[in-house]
Amino acid sequence: MTEHRTEKKLIGALAGKAYDKPPVWLMRQAGRYLPEYRALRSEAGGFLELCLNPAAAAEVTLQPVRRFGMDAAILFSDILIVPFGLGQPLEFKQGDGPTLLPLETAADLKRLNHAGLPARVAPIGETVRRVCADLPGDSALIGFAGSPWTVATYMVEGGASREFARIKRWIYRDPSGFDALIEQLIEATVDYLSLQIDAGAEVIQLFESWAGVLASQAFDRWVVKPNARIIQRLNALFPTIPVILFPRGAGLNYQSVIEGVTAAGIGLDTTVPLEWAINLDSSHTIQGNLDPHVLLIGGPILEIEVRRICDAIGKRPFIFNLGHGVLPDTPPEHVAKLVGLIRA
Amino acid sequence: MTEHRTEKKLIGALAGKAYDKPPVWLMRQAGRYLPEYRALRSEAGGFLELCLNPAAAAEVTLQPVRRFGMDAAILFSDILIVPFGLGQPLEFKQGDGPTLLPLETAADLKRLNHAGLPARVAPIGETVRRVCADLPGDSALIGFAGSPWTVATYMVEGGASREFARIKRWIYRDPSGFDALIEQLIEATVDYLSLQIDAGAEVIQLFESWAGVLASQAFDRWVVKPNARIIQRLNALFPTIPVILFPRGAGLNYQSVIEGVTAAGIGLDTTVPLEWAINLDSSHTIQGNLDPHVLLIGGPILEIEVRRICDAIGKRPFIFNLGHGVLPDTPPEHVAKLVGLIRA
């Protein structure tokens, strides 16, 4: 008798399998564009409270899977949970984005408390367990973290930044001191992702959202190597768990990522030509890269672009996604339409 | 008797000549980091008034050449002079950046008045003539304009933007209507640059500052082709005037720029690996790409980075520049130090 198990296409694609109808999930698929999210959000208090409330965070994680039948749920959380876990004071003020008490020099690293991390991030493990209990059998659960460089930008700048002047001052004046911060983040990120995997996460995505900020000569040291080390460590600890790396804005340095990192999946931002990506050796499954503005706008261009991407990919292992997160004004019907087009 | 003419190294480099000590100029070399600029600026009234005041704009253009002996002066002006020339209402509010009455659809294009452009931009021609009269014989005068896509972002968004939602809506909903705006900008830009060249500009730089905003499938239509057409037109009208294109943030699409545009020079942003650039065929002279934060910080890293860039370039035709503009807090002594290092 053949054993019939429900197939998780996301995991199949990351193992190198090509599908006529590729798996699909969207970055920020749980979020403000969904009325059921906004309803829950207004009850939950602040954003950080929502991330740390397992019942609410699990519900938000599951909302887009219930509504659209996505091939994956991605844990509802934030890349700043790692600095929070290390004890760096963090606040999300309404409409203003995150504020952290900034780290300015290597001397400030002693304020970070790695030993306290497991207790502080424990609610995230509980969220993962709750999602796993309720997730449909053909949908995979993606855990995630920010990559060290990207998380460090917030920790050093004290929040979002346009100029990145503080972190650039640090890396150029005291590169080995900055390495000490990156080392701490590598350790904390491995521990935090291990907790997610132990709780049931089946795939991990690393978000290197600010890969485009570094000058080329600094890219290997602070983007390629730290991500490579986290992935090596996770691969050794959890050989069956694939990792996707999304180095947004890496530009020509995507080539260094491909050569230097053994990620099962590579996320492509909207600027990456698919002609470039499909000529890569197939040891990396590619994921991407519809322009979120196309999803926002909908109509004929959505059909044209979905077809163009699927045609360009051909028979390669592939995960359909956006090239960046869902925009807050996106009509949910456009997301339903997108999923329908991919499965048509 | 041999005729001894003073050599302009910038023009030599753009003609394919390699120098042991490459020519150097810096984007935003005239500007807020210079005390003599701030002094003149506080007398001149608004920013637009300064751009349209030939005596003051010529003085500002010459300031960095006098102070540092740069190999080129770049006209002090703004990429929004073309929309201003087309009659689009434009204001620079103190500390707020530019504000324009936005164009929203192809129907709004009739508000643009190409016939009025020559008279409105005439003061810029006068600035160029004044700079030429006072420029040292070994320094070249660079005229410039924004590239059509980049200028269009301001015209459609009504100023600087983070999300570019309006222009994305336009290109995806009505691409041929948007082409009509790009066509107008190609014509206006060729006319505006012709005026600068007739007045004495010896080199032209096109700033495609927002090349990184477009998704890859839209890049050829709105970045590569419009720049290629402007450069073909200028090359036909002025065969001796070299053009540098700076497609900031083009990322992997730098390859399409190299293949699709016959520019004498290609500006590299900070993310471009020099190892990639030096393997290009040598029909393009490359220009770049020191991180402006290194210049801001100064000290040992400035020496290390200048040496690294010059060593990587080797014997290729090259123009030393930043990978983006001079940051306003940069100490002028760091710029003097940079020029000294290149010439040491």
Helix (H, G, I), strand (E, B) or coil at A90: strand
Comparing alpha-carbon positions, the chain B residue that sits nearest to A291 is: B215
Burial label for A311, CB within 10 Å (0-12, 13-18, 19+), is: exposed
For residue A146, give the nearest of A251, A27, A39 by alpha carbon.
A27
Q: Which two tokens stand for residue B268?
A: 């590299």
Is the CB of A271 less than 8 angstroms away from the CB of B214?
Answer: yes
Question: Which residues of chain B does A289 touch, with a Cβ-Cβ cutoff of 8 Å?
Answer: 215-216
CA distance A297 to chain B (A): 7
DSSP run (H or E) holding A140: strand A140-146
Count structural domains, chain B: 1
Q: Does residue B1 fall inside a structural domain?
A: no
B293 closest CB neighbour out of A172, A294, A297: A172
**Residue A42 scores a pLDDT above 90:** no
Test mutation, A171, A286, A293, A334, chain B, max B CBs within 10 A: A293
End-to-end CA distance of chain B: 31
Helix (H, G, I), strand (E, B) or coil at A202: coil
Q: Roughly what angle, to the nearest 10 degrees, separates helices A54-68 and A117-134?
A: 40
State how far the Cα of B26 lies from the Cα of B262, in Å rounded to an integer.
Answer: 23
Q: Please pick, among A33, A37, A78, A130, the residue that the annotation labels catalytic.
A: A78
Is the CB of B251 less than 8 angstroms away from the CB of A256?
Answer: no
Give the residue numbers in A contacting B (CB under 8 Å), as ranges.
Answer: 163-165, 168-169, 172-173, 212, 214-217, 219, 249-256, 270-274, 276, 289, 291, 293-294, 296-297, 299, 301, 305, 308, 323, 327
For residue A262, give the nearest of A219, A226, A232 by alpha carbon.
A232
Q: Is A254 a catalytic residue?
A: no
Confidence (pLDDT) at A95: 76
Confidence (pLDDT) at B43: 85
Comparing alpha-carbon positions, the chain B residue that sits nearest to A249 is: B251
The string of DSSP codes covering A58-84 is HHHHHHHHHHH--SEEE----TTHHHH
Test mutation, B172, B173, B178, B301, chain A, max A CBs within 10 A: B172
Test mutation, B173, B176, B214, B252, chain A, max A CBs within 10 A: B252
Q: How many CB atoms lie within 10 A of CB B107?
A: 9
Question: Which residues of chain A does B168 touch, with a Cβ-Cβ cutoff of 8 Å?
Answer: 291, 293, 296-297
Residue B153 and residue B161 in contact, taking contact as beta carbons nearer than 8 Å: yes
B272 closest CB neighbour out of A252, A308, A327: A252
Question: Which residues of chain A does B255 touch, with a Cβ-Cβ cutoff of 8 Å?
Answer: 276
Average pLDDT on A16-23 reads 96
Is the CB of A270 less than 8 angstroms away from the CB of B212?
Answer: no
- Residues in Cβ contact with A196 at an 8 Å cutoff, skipping those fewer than 6 apart: A75, A124, A125, A128, A143, A144, A204
- Residues in Cβ contact with B286 at an 8 Å cutoff, skipping those fewer than 6 apart: B265, B266, B268, B277, B278, B280, B313, B316, B317, B318, B319
Mean pLDDT split into 10-residue runs, chain B, 344 residues = 70 96 98 95 89 97 98 98 97 89 93 96 98 97 98 97 95 97 98 98 98 97 98 98 98 97 97 94 92 98 98 95 98 98 95
Q: Which two tokens stand for residue B255?
A: 């390859």
DSSP label at residue A143 = E
Q: Is B67 a catalytic residue?
A: no
ipTM score here? 0.95
B172 closest CB neighbour out of A254, A273, A301: A301
Phi, psi of A143, rounded to the nearest 5 degrees: -90, 165
Is the CB of A271 less than 8 angstroms away from the CB of B216?
Answer: yes
State how far the Cα of B153 lies from the Cα of A64, in Å rounded to an integer.
Answer: 33
Least confident of A2-6, A140-144, B127-131, B163-167: A2-6
Q: Does residue A194 fall inside a structural domain?
A: yes
Is the CB of B291 less than 8 angstroms away from the CB of A168?
Answer: yes
Three-state SS for chain B is: CCCCCCCCHHHHHHCCCCCCCCCECCCCCCCCCCHHHHHHHHHHCCHHHHHCCHHHHHHHHHHHHHHHCCCEEECCCCCCHHHHHCCCCEEEECCCEEEECCCCCHHHHHHCCHHHHHHHHHHHHHHHHHHHHHCCCCCEEEEEEECHHHHHHHHHHCECCCCCHHHHHHHHHCHHHHHHHHHHHHHHHHHHHHHHHHHCCCEEEEECCCHHHCCHHHHHHHHHHHHHHHHHHHHHHCCCCCEEEECCCCHHHHHHHHHHCCCCEEECCCCCCHHHHCCCCCCCEEEEEECHHHHHHCCHHHHHHHHHHHHHHCCCCEEEEECCCCCCCCCHHHHHHHHHHHHC
State how far the Cα of B226 lies from the Cα of A92, in Å rounded to an integer.
Answer: 43
Q: Roughly what angle, to the nearest 10 degrees, separates helices B175-199 and B165-173?
A: 120
State how far the Cα of B140 lies from the Cα of B7, in Å rounded to an integer.
Answer: 10
Q: Does residue A191 fall inside a structural domain?
A: yes
Confidence (pLDDT) at A6: 76
Q: Does residue A1 fall inside a structural domain?
A: no
CA distance B317 to chain A (A): 20
Comparing alpha-carbon positions, the chain B residue that sits nearest to A166 is: B293
Question: Around B333, how many Cα atoms within 13 Å sit in the side-chain half-sphere?
Answer: 3
State how far the Cα of A73 lies from the Cα of A66, in Å rounded to an integer.
Answer: 10
State how far the Cα of B177 lies from the Cα of B110, in Å rounded to an integer.
Answer: 12
**Residue A137 scores a pLDDT above 60:** yes
Q: Give the structural domain span for B321.
A: 9-343
Is the CB of A250 less than 8 angstroms away from the CB of B251?
Answer: yes
Q: Is B78 a catalytic residue?
A: yes
Confidence (pLDDT) at B4: 52
Least confident of A85-94, A189-198, A227-236: A85-94
Q: Please pick, among B37, B78, B192, B254, the residue that the annotation labels catalytic.
A: B78
DSSP label at residue A116 = G
Confidence (pLDDT) at A282: 76
Residue A215 and residue B271 in contact, taking contact as beta carbons nearer than 8 Å: yes
Torsion angle, CA of A323/A327/A331/A333, rounded to 10 degrees? 30
- Residues in Cβ contact with B231 at an 8 Å cutoff, skipping those fewer than 6 apart: B206, B243, B245, B261, B262, B263
Confidence (pLDDT) at B281: 79
Average confidence score pLDDT of chain A = 96
Comparing alpha-carbon positions, the chain B residue that sits nearest to A248 is: B251
Question: Residue A109's Cα: distance from chain center in Å?
Answer: 25
State how far the Cα of A186 lies from the Cα of A42, in Å rounded to an integer.
Answer: 34
Q: Does residue A207 fall inside a structural domain?
A: yes
Q: Is A269 a catalytic residue?
A: no
Is the CB of A301 less than 8 angstroms away from the CB of B253?
Answer: no
The string of DSSP codes covering A218-248 is HHIIIIIHHHHHHHHHHHHH-TT--EEEE-T
Considering only CA atoms, give the Rg of chain B. 19
Residue-wise pLDDT tens digits, B26-35: 999 999 999 9
**Residue A214 scores a pLDDT above 90:** yes
Question: Which residues of chain A does B251 touch, with a Cβ-Cβ cutoff of 8 Å?
Answer: 212, 249-252, 254, 271-272
Least confident of A65-74, A228-237, A292-301, B282-291: B282-291
CA distance B272 to chain A (A): 6
Confidence (pLDDT) at B110: 95
Confidence (pLDDT) at B280: 87
Give me the total of CB pairs closer than 8 Å, taking one residue from chain A and one from chain B.
119
Reading across the β-sheet that carries B243-246, which strands appear in turn? Answer: B72-74, B140-146, B203-207, B243-246, B265-267, B285-290, B318-322
Give the residue numbers in B contacting A (CB under 8 Å), as ranges.
Answer: 163-165, 168-169, 172-173, 212, 214-217, 219, 249-256, 270-274, 276, 289, 291, 293-294, 296-297, 299, 301, 305, 308, 323, 327
Q: Is the dihedral of CA A157, A161, A166, A168 positive or negative?
A: positive
CA distances from B243 to B82, B139, B236, B256, B261 (A): 18, 16, 12, 17, 10
A172 closest CB neighbour out of B254, B297, B308: B297
Q: Does residue A117 fall inside a structural domain?
A: yes
Confidence (pLDDT) at B6: 76
Residue-wise pLDDT tens digits, A221-236: 999 999 999 999 999 9
Burial label for B3, CB within 10 Å (0-12, 13-18, 19+), is: exposed
CATH number of the structural domain spanning residue A206: 3.20.20.210
- Residues in Cβ contact with A189 at an 8 Å cutoff, skipping those fewer than 6 apart: A82, A145, A146, A147, A148, A151, A206, A230
B270 closest CB neighbour out of A216, A273, A296: A216
Question: Which residues of chain B does A327 touch, with a Cβ-Cβ cutoff of 8 Å?
Answer: 163, 165
**Residue A2 scores a pLDDT above 50:** no
Confidence (pLDDT) at B5: 63
Residue A51 and residue A77 in contact, taking contact as beta carbons nearer than 8 Å: yes
Average pLDDT on A44-56 reads 93
Amino acid identity of residue A233, one-letter, is R
A293 closest CB neighbour out of B168, B274, B296: B168
Q: Does residue B183 fall inside a structural domain?
A: yes
Reading across the β-sheet that carries A318-322, which strands appear in turn? Answer: A72-74, A140-146, A203-207, A243-246, A265-267, A285-290, A318-322
Q: Is B154 a catalytic residue?
A: yes
Confidence (pLDDT) at B2: 45
Q: Does residue A244 fall inside a structural domain?
A: yes
Is the CB of B296 less than 8 angstroms away from the CB of A214?
Answer: no
Q: Please pick, among B154, B192, B229, B269, the residue that the annotation labels catalytic.
A: B154
Q: Please pick, among A19, A32, A120, A129, the residue that the annotation labels catalytic.
A: A32
